[in-house]
Amino acid sequence: MKRIMIWLTMLIINTVSIPTLSSAARDSLVAPALPNGCVVTGKVPGGVNPKNAVVYLEGVPFAGRPAPMHKEMDQKNLRFTPHVLAITVGSQVTFLNSDTVNHNVFGVGADMFDLGTWPPGRRRTKTFTRPGEVAILCNVHPEMSAYILVLKHPYFAQPDALGRYKIAGVPPGTYTLVIYQPERKPIKKKIQVGC
Ligand SMILES: [Cu+2]
């Protein structure tokens, strides 16, 4: 309970307006920024592994398609890296194979696909056109798994190693801040954004 209170307090303190951000700050933590708008910052609560979390806002009005991204997911030491990846709908993810064995990539969930099996050093790319959670699996190694969260808007961020996040370009309003973690219930909190 105490931990939750600390987190809520931090959330309130940290939900402040910052009219401009340096491009370096934007690049490190922020999803594709929109011009103007407010910045929502905070820190995920203890007990949440920052590497496996995605923070996003629900209920922000957003028309049209968000800017597509191009990300990579590696397969190294029989693991997908990163384990959790957040992208906008329409984005591409290139799957690498940095191991010395063949790997396969297929997806289950919001998008069902099979990129097949390929040898070390090769790569294959998939465009994600359906929003939602996609579990990424390898049929050569059943123990391998990862998650891609495909979002219809740019109001999300993946926390840094310390759990800090920044979501930029948010219009003023009342929204639900969601901390997504695969295979766990999302943590939700109403927040007021103003700047
Ligand atoms: Cu594999």
163 and 146: one domain?
A: no
- pLDDT tens per residue, range 30-51: 444 556 799 999 999 999 999 9
pLDDT at 27 over 80: no
User: Position 6: which residue type?
Assistant: I
Type of residue numbered 31 = A
Same domain? For 44 and 79 the reply is no
Residue 34 CA to ligand 1 center (angstroms) comes to 37
Tell me the whole-structure pTM to 2 decimals. 0.82
> What are the E-state strand segments in the chain?
38-43, 54-58, 70-76, 79-81, 84-88, 91-96, 103-109, 113-118, 123-128, 132-137, 145-151, 156-157, 164-170, 173-180, 187-193
CA of 80 to the centre of ligand 1 (A): 9
Query: Domain range spanning residue 32?
Result: 2-61+155-193
Query: In this structure, are 140 and 86 located in the same domain?
Result: yes
* pLDDT higher than 90, residue 24: no
pLDDT tens sequence across 138-185: 999 999 999 999 999 999 999 999 999 999 999 999 999 999 999 999
Q: In angstroms, rounded to a whole number, what is the distance separating the alpha carbons of residues 18 and 5?
A: 24
